[in-house]
Amino acid sequence: MYDITDYHEATSLAEVFKLAAADPKARIVAGGTDTLVKSWAEVPAFTGIALIGITRIPELQGIVCQEDGTLIIGALNTFVTIEHDPLIQKYTPLLSQAVSLVGGPQTRHMGTIGGNICNAGPAADSAPALFTYNTTCEIQGPDGVKNVPIADFYRGPGQTILKPGEVLTRFKIKAGDYQDFHGHYTKFARRNALDIANLSCAALVKVQGEQIRDLRLCFGAAGPTPLRMPVAESYAKGKPLTDATLAQIGQLCLQDTHDITDWRDTKAFRDHLVTVLPGRDITAALRGA
């Protein structure tokens, strides 16, 4: 009962651009774990459309570390691949941990990291980690290649800067953005599997002795897009690692989050969690250090 009018399998980026030019309404599909769900739910942009399959395009595959230490992650990597990849585990373990918490085994085998980001859900599990690593998104389109910081990639819930025919090809993380950092991610959800976060928080922290040298925090589901916490992050720099500092970091996060009340949770409860999760994440990250 999917209202999908046609399916094209592209084997190169050039083919994607051609197909998209011929049918601007057509939608790219990678693992399909968001696309088919939305089509079933009759979300207008996913109904009565053709799909362009991209999973066989070579440029979107692979995980490599360049000579300068930049980690390159192809958009088509599935959650399972990312979770177990030795380079990811070595350099960006926070990302490995985060994607291990996605859905269930089926979804982790089918879903891709590119799809997760392009779907632009506020609670996407790979997003907070990618935000804290200051990840760059490489986009290719008929007009060439663009590199965009992930924080500029989102326009709102379910909306990105991608134009029809443009493909998110790879993620890039510079060595300076992961070296000496320790990370931890909390997915606060009602279930331990097969759930979407009510609130999520990634922390990436660098310490010197008992002092915080650098802190990056990103919340999922605390606003229309994943959100970094500039106020708390700048406060933390140079502060001693004490309970009081952690509590203050949590409090300051409220200046950058935009929690709302809906039938799932109240704003008051979400705000309370906002104050709790960063401290817990920082502690957990450093426990693993």
Ligand X SMILES: Cc1cc2nc3c(=O)[nH]c(=O)nc-3n(C[C@H](O)[C@H](O)[C@H](O)COP(=O)(O)OP(=O)(O)OC[C@H]3O[C@@H](n4cnc5c(N)ncnc54)[C@H](O)[C@@H]3O)c2cc1C
Chain contacts with ligand X (rule: CB under 6 A): 27-35, 37, 75, 102-103, 107, 110-112, 114-116, 118-119, 124-125, 162, 167-168, 196
Encode 100-119: b = buried (16+ Cβ within 10 Å), e = exposed. bbbbeeebbebbbbbbbbbb
- When CB distances to ligand X are compared, the closest residue is 115
State which residue, 251 or 269, has the beta carbon closest to other proteins.
269
Query: Which does residue 272 bind out of other proteins, ligand X, none, counting CB within 5 to 8 angstroms by kind?
Result: other proteins
Q: Does residue number 43 form part of the binding site for other proteins (CB under 8 A)?
A: no
Q: Which of 50, 76, 72 has its CA nearest to residue 61?
A: 76
Sole window of 74-82, 108-116, 142-150, 268-276 interacting with other proteins (rule: CB under 8 A): 268-276
Question: Token pair of 246, please?
Answer: 């952690």
The distance of closest approach from Cβ of residue 4 to other proteins in the complex, given in angstroms and rounded to an integer, is 10
Residue 267 near residue 233 (C-beta atoms within 8 A): no
Question: Token pair of 71, please?
Answer: 């980690």
Burial class (CB in 10 A: 0-12, 13-18, 19+), 67: exposed
State which residue, 2 or 7, has the beta carbon closest to other proteins.
2
Binders of other proteins among 101-120, rule CB under 8 A?
A: 104
The distance of closest approach from Cβ of residue 154 to other proteins in the complex, given in angstroms and rounded to an integer, is 22
Q: Which of 232, 237, 247 has its CA nearest to residue 283?
A: 247
Q: Does residue number 244 form part of the binding site for other proteins (CB under 8 A)?
A: no
Q: Does residue number 191 form part of the binding site for other proteins (CB under 8 A)?
A: yes
Q: Select the residue interacting with other proteins from 264, 267, 288, 289 (CB under 8 A).
A: 264
Say how many residues touch other proteins, by CB under 8 A.
21
Q: Select the residue interacting with other proteins from 49, 99, 196, 207 (CB under 8 A).
A: 196
Burial class (CB in 10 A: 0-12, 13-18, 19+), 243: exposed
Residue 261 near residue 267 (C-beta atoms within 8 A): yes
Q: Does residue number 269 form part of the binding site for other proteins (CB under 8 A)?
A: yes
For tokens 């879903």, what's the residue?
Answer: 111
Q: CB neighbours of 237 closer than 8 A, spacing ≥ 6?
A: 212, 213, 214, 215
State which residue, 244 or 263, has the beta carbon closest to other proteins.
263
Contact residues for other proteins (CB under 8 A)?
A: 1-3, 42, 104, 188, 190-196, 263-266, 269, 272-273, 276
